[in-house]
Chain A
Amino acid sequence: MNKISTRQLYFLLACIMPAGKLLLLPTRLAEAAGNDLLFPAAACYLLEAGAVFCVLLLAERNTSLYDLLRERVGKVAAGILLALLSLFLLFAALLPLMEQRLFVQSIFYDTLPSLAAFAPFFLFAAYLCAKPLFSLGRMWDLLAPVAIAGLLGILVLSVGSAKFGALLPVGAGGGRGFLKGSAAAACWFFDAPLLLPMLGHIDAKKGTAWRGALFYLAGGGAILFYLAVFYAIYAETAVNQLFAFANTSKYFAGITVLGRIDYLFIFALALVMAFYAALPLQASVGCWTQTFRAKPLPVLLSVLFSALFFALLSLLDLRFGDVMDCISGTLFWIFPAMSAGLPLLLLLLLWRPRRA
């Protein structure tokens, strides 16, 4: 039985998914919305929680997305829709992977390492993508406490340096700041589409949908609190703080005596992030494997996608700024359309009330 339990699903929603929003999202939000960064982030979280709710309602039917679509729109259209979803997930995977690479290079190395230092990640990703879902579920069981300890540790060490007055006055950026911030943050919110290929593999029961949305919001609450701490520490200079989650805790008074003990928590979160960064690739592979059920397909696609992204990251080595501007600036609208619009559309199209 290739199933994940609801517990594992909640761990993914509340603990693993928030880790992906700690790298560059805070800086980008500060740049776009200034001290009002919490509002666009909260709006994105609420929208995405709604989308997660929609997907988990579909999960209660305990049928794969391909089968649900095939029943409703036929084989060919179902295949096309899943191919589109897979392409979107590959597109969405680019930014987290580039972020992850830059983060590792900037924070864990004193001088710029070669691209090869990041290459093993793709071996890891290829292996992870080929694994069945139940294996990932077990990993989330293990990673959830690591993520909680990591984020909690960083928050505890950081909060003492925060001057929350920096978040005032509320609403300084106005509606324009809110819209700019929401648009800039949109490309970090594609968690609901990540769940779509898992349909049919989630051991969903009645109430899983709203509980899942609540767990997702709980993770979001932790991220919002971190964003507040981040801006309260850096205030007007927050726009200059790349990968701030690895730095906010260094102002803790004890660090001067004990050394960078906060690295323990940073490493813990970096480990969780490595799993999170591979998730879109894994979901993309999942789309194809439920359409074509050939046995070697997951392995072949895992290797292919990982190699593709390694090549892409090598090509775009020094173009991160352009990629970021393109994805979170020009093409930002793709994310709300696919991550909120698509789940809602699928729910309207496919949902049937559970039989008594």
Chain B
Amino acid sequence: MRKFLKTLPMKLYLLLLAAVLFSFFSNDFGLVDIQKTAIILAAGVDKTENGFLLTAQIAVPKGSDRTTGGTSSVEIEAEGKTVSDCVTSIYSKTGWVPKLVFCDLIVLGEETAKSDVISHLNYFLRNEYMPDSCLVAVCEGSAKELLSSTSALADASSLAIEQLFSDAAQKSGKVMPNTLKEFAIGYYGVSKSSYLPFLRMADQEGAENAASGSSSGGEGTEPQKIYTAEETAIFSEGRMVGLLSPEETLLFSMLEGKVFAGTLSAEREGEPVTLTVLKNDGSVSLKGEDAPKAVLSVSLVVRLCCRGVTAPIADVSDDSVPKEVLESAASALKEHAAALFEHAKSAGCDLFNLKRTLYRTSPKRYAKWKDLLPGAAEVALDVSVSSKK
């Protein structure tokens, strides 16, 4: 008994410690009542006359066996004066507690993006349960239409769209995804500019046949859709002010130095040639003593991928790139770079964060030029395309 009493404090201490650990780290013992919870996979925001329309794509488990397993989804719409009102409205309409912790995509309708989008995104930024690494995109038409469409490739449209922004897709240079966090940093920074990928959807060719085989197929069903995000919407002070073409998007991606194993089109004697990018370095710097001058530098190491003409086997095995092709590629890139810079400049978007660079490196010149950028900036292009050999 005496021995027990002697060790009692330690036992009590361990018990208390266990209780603290349990209550701290229990996470409510993971008890999420799936019957009462709406796990939101993606949210679409459209502006209406009275405020906002929020389309929440909610995951619905399909089953556990191999044939029917996966995630299906339903779209719930709610209107309100703020995005928060819409979320509350979803709760009152359905009785499901909206859970944003798995929301990986926010889609803004095209018209919505023309007003200051941060007023729509603020709710998600402030929500501590919402991951700020969530992807944000603008779409053609309304976000409601996009999220309600039936994907030809995935169980839910949001899952198919997220595939467009995969690491592999980014490395191809064809898409420029952006996250909620990075968009907000761009918006609240001195440049007040940012970008978002622009989504388009199109009917899948031969969808009539494909639809019958799918879970949502059958007569009278909507055609299945495929999505693309090869264009990029550019923003100034939170408003969408322009749309970069696929070529400009690729160049923008190259300036960020993100392209690896992407492809690039060139010409030889009027015939198309495709090059594979093996290495990409890109940067934008600001120079000039009397007037701001942006230097856009892209350096690529490429190899021959394929020609658009019939070629002998010796030519197919040779991946060296003729000088003429390299020059043709460099010339095309210069053209796109100039167009990209002019496009952003004329739209008033400081896409390359020239103001921010100046603010961070030279406060004196920033004070002098802050009202001139990006409009008064001249551009110098430094594009080099070289072969591996």
Binding site for B on A (CB under 8 A): 104, 106, 108-111, 113, 117-121, 123-124, 127, 165, 168-169, 172, 234-237, 240, 242, 247, 250-251, 267, 270-271, 274
How far, in Å, is A355 (CB) from chain B's closest CB? 39
The closest CB in chain B to the CB of A247 belongs to: B132
Q: Do the beta carbons of A240 and B23 come within 8 Å of each other?
A: no
Task: Decide yes or no: A111 and B185 within 8 Å by CB, A117-B23, A124-B20, A250-B133 being known contacts.
Answer: no
Q: Do the beta carbons of A120 and B189 come within 8 Å of each other?
A: no
Does B101 lie at the interface of the complex (its beta carbon under 8 Å from any beta carbon of A)?
A: yes
Binds A, one of B25-33, B232-240, B246-254: B25-33
How far, in Å, is B381 (CB) from chain A's closest CB? 24
Does B314 lie at the interface of the complex (its beta carbon under 8 Å from any beta carbon of A)?
A: no
A190, B22: Cα distance in complex, Å: 30
Query: 5 tightest CB-CB pairs across the interface, nearest first?
Result: A168-B360, A236-B188, A120-B19, A124-B20, A120-B23
A178, B357: Cα distance in complex, Å: 23
Q: Do the beta carbons of A109 and B185 come within 8 Å of each other?
A: no
A109, B28: Cα distance in complex, Å: 7
Q: Do the beta carbons of A270 and B24 come within 8 Å of each other?
A: yes
Q: Do the beta carbons of A127 and B13 come within 8 Å of each other?
A: yes
A104, B22: Cα distance in complex, Å: 12
Task: Decide yes or no: A108 and B12 within 8 Å by CB, A165-B360, A237-B125, A250-B133 being known contacts.
Answer: no
Does B61 lie at the interface of the complex (its beta carbon under 8 Å from any beta carbon of A)?
A: no
| Chain B interface residue number, banded | 20 to 34
Q: Do the beta carbons of A123 and B27 come within 8 Å of each other?
A: no
How far, in Å, is B348 (CB) from chain A's closest CB? 20
A168, B32: Cα distance in complex, Å: 44
23 contacts between A and B (CB under 8 A): A108-B26, A110-B27, A110-B32, A113-B28, A117-B26, A118-B23, A120-B16, A120-B19, A120-B22, A121-B23, A123-B19, A127-B12, A127-B16, A169-B359, A169-B360, A235-B189, A237-B125, A237-B185, A237-B188, A242-B128, A250-B131, A250-B133, A274-B24
Does B368 lie at the interface of the complex (its beta carbon under 8 Å from any beta carbon of A)?
A: no
The residues of B that contact A127 with a CB separation of less than 8 Å are 12-13, 16
Task: Decide yes or no: A172 and B185 within 8 Å by CB, A237-B125, A250-B133, A267-B25 being known contacts.
Answer: no
Q: Which of A106, A113, A270 contacts B128 (CB 8 A)?
A: A106
How far, in Å, is A343 (CB) from chain B's closest CB? 32
The residues of B that contact A250 with a CB separation of less than 8 Å are 131, 133
The residues of A that contact B133 with a CB separation of less than 8 Å are 250-251
The majority secondary structure among interface residues of chain A is helix
A234, B99: Cα distance in complex, Å: 24
The residues of A that contact B363 with a CB separation of less than 8 Å are 169, 172
Does B76 lie at the interface of the complex (its beta carbon under 8 Å from any beta carbon of A)?
A: no
Does B184 lie at the interface of the complex (its beta carbon under 8 Å from any beta carbon of A)?
A: yes
Does B361 lie at the interface of the complex (its beta carbon under 8 Å from any beta carbon of A)?
A: yes
Q: Do the beta carbons of A104 and B24 come within 8 Å of each other?
A: yes
Q: Do the beta carbons of A234 and B16 come within 8 Å of each other?
A: no
* Among B22, B24, B28, B101, residue most surrounded by chain A Cβ atoms (within 10 Å): B24
A250, B133: Cα distance in complex, Å: 9
The residues of A that contact B361 with a CB separation of less than 8 Å are 168-169
* Among B20, B32, B128, residue most surrounded by chain A Cβ atoms (within 10 Å): B20
How far, in Å, is A270 (CB) from chain B's closest CB? 6
A119, B25: Cα distance in complex, Å: 13
Task: Decide yes or no: A237 and B181 within 8 Å by CB, A123-B19, A165-B360, A274-B20 being known contacts.
Answer: yes
A18, B185: Cα distance in complex, Å: 28
Q: Do the beta carbons of A108 and B24 come within 8 Å of each other?
A: yes
Does B123 lie at the interface of the complex (its beta carbon under 8 Å from any beta carbon of A)?
A: no
How far, in Å, is B326 (CB) from chain A's closest CB? 33
Task: Decide yes or no: A237 and B20 within 8 Å by CB, A110-B28, A110-B129, A250-B133 being known contacts.
Answer: no
Q: Do the beta carbons of B189 and A236 come within 8 Å of each other?
A: yes
A307, B184: Cα distance in complex, Å: 43
The residues of B that contact A106 with a CB separation of less than 8 Å are 128
How far, in Å, is B28 (CB) from chain A's closest CB? 6
Does B97 lie at the interface of the complex (its beta carbon under 8 Å from any beta carbon of A)?
A: yes
The closest CB in chain B to the CB of A126 belongs to: B16
Q: Do the beta carbons of A240 and B125 come within 8 Å of each other?
A: yes
The residues of B that contact A240 with a CB separation of less than 8 Å are 125-126, 184
The residues of A that contact B372 with a CB separation of less than 8 Å are none
A237, B133: Cα distance in complex, Å: 13
